[in-house]
Amino acid sequence: MRGIYALAAAAVALCVRASDVAVLGKGNFSEWVGAQELALVEFYAPWCGHCQALAPHYEAAATALKGEGVALAKVDCTVEDALCGENGVGGFPTLKVMRHGSASPYGGPRKTEGIIEYMQRQKLPAVLNVSATTIDDFKSKGRFVLLALAKEDDKESRDAIAKYGNEQRDSVIVGVSDDVLLASEVGVTMPGLVAFRKFDEPQVGYSASASLTYDAIDAFVAVESIPLIDEITPDNFAKYVQTGLPLGYYFVNPESSSRELEIRQLADTARAHRGKLNIVWIDGVKFANHAKALNLKGESWPAFAIQNMQTGFKYPLELGKNPTKEVADYVQRFVEGKVPASVKSAPIPASQPESVIEVVADEFDKYVFQDDKDVLVEFYAPWCGHCKRLAPTYSLLADMYARDSSASSKVQVVKMDATANDVPPSAGIQLEGFPTIVLKPAGKDSRTLVDYSGDRSLESLVDFIATSGTHKARVTVESESVTHDEL
């Protein structure tokens, strides 16, 4: 019984406690958000579990932020569906930061403290005014803060800084100063940049030769905001992708006693190639599958692999007795462009009994770059449903060209299992889904594969070969041979 009374009392307490979250509807939404300098609005549905989990945090954050001129509101989309539609709400909860009614996505956490901090940061100007007296306070604002040094009348640099501060306000704390003494203290000439960090060298500078540009600021931050060598995790992975630089993974055995020493030694390699490639370490035991995906055997640690984040190419290195030295040499050769990409290949088939040639990576160039033929290539995955449904049509297509006395010497139909084989660099494409169908037009000079974007019917494929191929070869589609599975 006591339990029930306690519950009832708690329920009453919840009911009487006034909420600091404003409830908005069609009739007052525009007026309310328009009047707020800074607000956070949650679009939710009462049945949504993530919304329910957020609710107490949202309430507490609203109360904490009330005194700071930041207002929190919510819209129940089961009641206000038109309003939610107008605001482009596609899932629940959707959170938006509103400045005088103009919205931007909320990119912060969903716990009380995180919401408070994020919104407090939104309140700061996009670019802080820093002087000799406020510099220490500025430095303490984060693990990585960026100070731009530019004269007040250097409009071009100032505009670039303002634009950068505005666009990156969620990710980087940016300050600006025109203090010449401060600039000389940190060792840069104006216009320039200095990053204050709580990792690696605490301070790094950059002096621009002319005005600062948005791209120069962006490039400086991309390089300097990343520690020399860090553990890669789901939280920081995106940061590495954003840099666009190749990423070297040092796979360690977490139990190994030499692990820490090796990581320290690798920092020298990372420093030597900073800005050209990033190096991280990762738990090889836990992420053995990732090692395999990078074409390592995935059996012994340490091991090392570089991934080109733009092309997806992989450069695996099994390590011996002197791992950090071996990595250093390998990275050096990699940046000099002397390491070929590793291309995984299934064994070469003993025979090709079908009209559709089953191509493996080791024979990709032989079949796809035949030059005297227009070659249609399907990249598939054995588990992909669309691929399975396409298979009979694709076989029939190959049969039709193989049987046609005129077309058989001009057109070849091939396929490749892209889970057992890497797409070789010579193909010059990255797969984005399965099946992917491309055509290599005949001729030595046509090295570019043409994407197929039509439906998966026999007629459309025949049309594609006839219009995109060099030979313009066409076969006739008999009505009885048409398969009606076009999805």
Ligand X SMILES: *[C@@H]1O[C@H](CO)[C@@H](O)[C@H](O)[C@H]1NC(C)=O
Give catalytic residue positions. Answer: 48, 51, 384, 387
**How far is residue 296 from each of residues 82, 124, 454, measured CA to CA in Å?**
53, 47, 37
Nearer to ligand X, 176 or 221 (CB): 176
Shortest distance (Å) from residue 30 CB to ligand X = 11
Which two tokens mark 56?
């107490």
Shortest distance (Å) from residue 26 CB to ligand X = 7
Question: Cβ of 171: how many Cβ atoms within 10 Å?
Answer: 13
d(CA 446, CA 462): 20
d(CA 262, CA 272): 16
Shortest distance (Å) from residue 296 CB to ligand X = 52
Residues 425, 428, 429: CA angle, nearest 5 degrees? 110
| Residue 374 and residue 431 in contact, taking contact as beta carbons nearer than 8 Å | no
Nearer to ligand X, 131 or 258 (CB): 131
Nearer to ligand X, 52 or 134 (CB): 134
Q: Are strands 102-105 and 127-129 parallel, antiparallel or unpaired?
A: unpaired
Shortest distance (Å) from residue 57 CB to ligand X = 21
102: helix, strand or coil: strand
| Residue 412 and residue 375 in contact, taking contact as beta carbons nearer than 8 Å | yes
Determine the residue with CB nearest ligand X: 25
Nearer to ligand X, 26 or 274 (CB): 26
Which two tokens mark 222?
């991309």
| Residue 157 and residue 150 in contact, taking contact as beta carbons nearer than 8 Å | yes
Shortest distance (Å) from residue 130 CB to ligand X = 9
Question: Cβ of 368: how many Cβ atoms within 10 Å?
Answer: 24
**Ramachandran angles phi, psi of 18, nearest 5°:** -70, 140
Nearer to ligand X, 100 or 333 (CB): 100
**Ramachandran angles phi, psi of 158, nearest 5°:** -60, -40
Shortest distance (Å) from residue 376 CB to ligand X = 59
Positions that interact with ligand X (CB under 6 A): 22-25, 27-28, 32, 129, 131
Nearer to ligand X, 152 or 235 (CB): 152
